[in-house]
Amino acid sequence: MNEKIETRVGKHPLEEVSFFGVYTKGQTYLNILYMLLLMPIGIIFFTYAVTLFSTSVGLLVTFVGIFLLYFFLISLPYLMLVQGWLMKISTGIELPKHEVTFDENRTLIQKAWDALKNKVIWKTLLYFLFFAMPLGIITFTLAVTLISVGISLTFVWLWPLIQYAVVGSVLDEPWVISNAVRIIVIIGWVITPFIGFPILTGSLHLINRLAIWHGRLVVKILEP
């Protein structure tokens, strides 16, 4: 379903798709799912980071706090693999590969200190705290708005059919005060799908671009 994995140079395959060809690309629909999942993932990441970081720092004077801090810090890159896997499947963009390893011969306190000095862990923590949730909310809102507007305009002609099937009449509402209003509404029903379909198609292109840009931004944040 993926076209290919994006390299660091050159255009992404979805950036060269024809206007109506966007409907034939499986990655388009994966990108929509990706954009919708970014908000719950961002909220989970933010909540996890804030809760465990504040708790472990508060208990740092005890052995439990040191263990909890160590566990929390080393868990961050592994949690990031979840988003990296989702990002690779949907957008075809891979996260930078980082291996976070510590000397097994060192004590827990020394390992916790090594984790605190690890750049990969700190970049992942900063992403969890300051980028994951805001970016997730923005992408979710844009995706829902664009898709909703495009679909509603494209399929507005279904409304009179549904209304007739349910109540047995169309345009009998009090605001329809004359035949001129009826004619204007009918013309609107006829014309709007021809406006809505290009808007929906353009929205799918924009969602693809947003998913790609988001992936590239995450890669940029986590680059060594």
pLDDT of residue 115: 66
* CA–CA separation, 216 and 210 (whole Å): 10
Q: Where are the domains of the chain?
A: 18-222
pLDDT for the residue numbered 1 = 42
* C-beta separation of 182 from 176 below 8 A: yes
Measured between alpha carbons, how far is 183 from 176 in angstroms, rounded to an integer? Answer: 10
- pLDDT, tens digit only, all 224 positions of the chain: 444 444 444 577 777 788 888 999 888 999 999 999 999 999 999 999 999 989 988 887 788 888 888 888 888 888 888 888 888 888 888 887 766 665 566 666 666 666 667 787 888 888 888 988 999 999 999 999 999 999 999 998 888 888 778 877 777 766 666 777 778 888 888 899 999 999 999 999 999 999 999 989 988 888 76
Rounded-to-integer distance, Cα 106 and Cα 13, Å: 47
Q: Output the CA torsion sign for 176, 181, 182, 184.
A: negative
